[in-house]
Every structure is written in structure tokens, then in C-alpha cells.
Amino acid sequence: MKIRCLLVDDEPHALAVLRAHIAMVPMLDVVGQCQNAIAAFEVLQQQPVDLLFLDIKMPKLLGTDFLKTLRNPPRVIFTTAYRDYALEAFELDAIDYLLKPVSLERFIKAIGKVYSLENTAPTALPPVETLPTSHEAFLYFRVDRKMVKVFQKDILYIESLKDYVRIVTTARQLVAKQTITSLEEMLPEEKFLRIHRSYIISADKIESYTPQHLYIAGKELPIGRNYKHELVKALKLTLE
């Protein structure tokens, strides 16, 4: 039996991160997403929800205050960038309190608590070790009104186009409406590196480099001055 989830957050990239994590766990089903508490209230009146992923600092009404208004609330996992509300959150019987950006491992631990409370057999939730590795992991991108699956192992690099990104893979190029910063938070940092304000690269696809550029699939990509230090540290490159 699937757990029906409602996502409530006013930050689109935070919603995208949650959806990406949820896609890795087959037993979870997203029945809706909202950017404020009022919209979430309407969804809760219209359909059953088992688990609420709830941001705290939102316009008009805090997530904690919203939860207090619900007579029979579903189980709740708070997702927030602020540590200050942790005590209040647990006083409201929250299952967990996840700090943004939410890592996949921390997310899985929280979902494990949900399954324990639902008296689900331990085998129902695959352990972190059996979830897809970075070579099997994938993301969905909205392209021409369709959600297109892209395996992380196929990504060469990603280019920012203001409010859009170009995802260049081994077989094709896609343009999706998403910011490069939100996408950076969804990718594993040990595999993907921001080398410039406009570029993220797959570390194992680097063919060669100079102090100013990296080359991937014959494409010359600039190394931004503000990103050089982290690049040297991560890949042990010599960029002098």
C-alpha cells in the first residue's frame, strides 16, 4: 500500500528536491504540491493524505501554525532551512525535522520512521545501500509538456540559460525550465561539480583541462574564478 504524500513549500527548487527523493522510493506517491498553507488546506479537504512534507517559513502562515489548525492532521515531516523551530516541531508530534538542502540519506532515515509508525515490515523499505547508485540514479525534467527521464550517468554537463538549463548527455540535449542552482542541489556533489556560474559538469567526463578551461566531449567549458578553489580541492587538479 502506497503512502500518499502532500508537499508544501514556497520554494520551487525545494519541491523539486523532495520529488526527486520521493521518486527513488516506490512506496511513496505524491498526490499534490502547494506553495502555501492555504492551498494545502484545500487539498487536505479534497483527498486523503497520509504524509505531509511541510516547510515552516512560508508567506502568510508558518507551517507550524498551519499544523495547529488541523483537527486530524496526517503524519508530518518538517523541511526547513531553520533550526530554531525544531523543539516546537517535535512538540507538534512531527515524525522528523529535515534541514535543507535535504540529502537522500537523511530523507530515507525519515521515511524509515514513517514505516515504523505504520507497523510496516522492515523489508518494505529498501535500505539506502539498495537504492540506485549514482550510475543508476535519474532525474525527470519537464520538456515540451512532458516529463523526460535522464540518467545521471549519461550527463556530460549542464548549462544555465537564465531560467532554463540545457542538459547535455551522451546521446542528446534537452532544455528544461529550471534554474541551475536548484538543479545543483539535486545532484550528488561527489559526482557533479559547479565550475562556473553557468556550468555544472560530470567529474568523470573530463577529458583534459587548462588553468582556464575544462574539455568534455570536445566542448570547451570555462572555469570561473570563484569556483577554482573548490574544483582544485575536489579533483586535485593543478590550475596554476
pLDDT for the residue 237: 65
The residue-averaged pLDDT of 158-183 equals: 89
For 1-56, the pLDDT digits (tens) are: 789 999 999 999 899 999 999 988 888 999 999 999 999 999 999 999 999 999 99
**201/179: higher pLDDT:** 201
pLDDT for the residue 157: 96
In this model, does residue 200 exceed pLDDT 60? yes
Give Cα 8 distance to the centre of its chain: 14
Domain boundaries, the chain: 3-130, 138-235
Give Cα 184 distance to the centre of its chain: 9
Evaluate whether 31 touches 81 at the Cβ level (below 8 Å): no
CA–CA separation, 238 vs 12, rounded Å? 37
The residue-averaged pLDDT of 119-148 equals: 58
Global pTM reads 0.54
How many CA atoms does the CB half-sphere of 191 hold within 13 Å? 17
pLDDT for the residue 71: 87
The residue-averaged pLDDT of 192-197 equals: 92
The dihedral sign for the CA sequence 185, 41, 83, 119 = negative
Share of the chain above pLDDT 70, in %: 90
Confidence of residue 209 (pLDDT cuts 50, 70, 90): confident
Q: What is the dotted CATH code of the domain comprising 3-130?
A: 3.40.50.2300
Q: If DSSP codes are grouped into helix, strand and coil, which group holds residue 7?
A: strand
The residue-averaged pLDDT of 223-229 equals: 88
For residue 152, the tally of other CB atoms under 10 A from its CB is 20
pLDDT for the residue 240: 57
pLDDT for the residue 136: 65
Q: Of the CATH numbers 3.40.50.620, 2.60.40.10, 2.40.50.1020, 2.40.50.220, which one belongs to the domain with range 138-235?
A: 2.40.50.1020
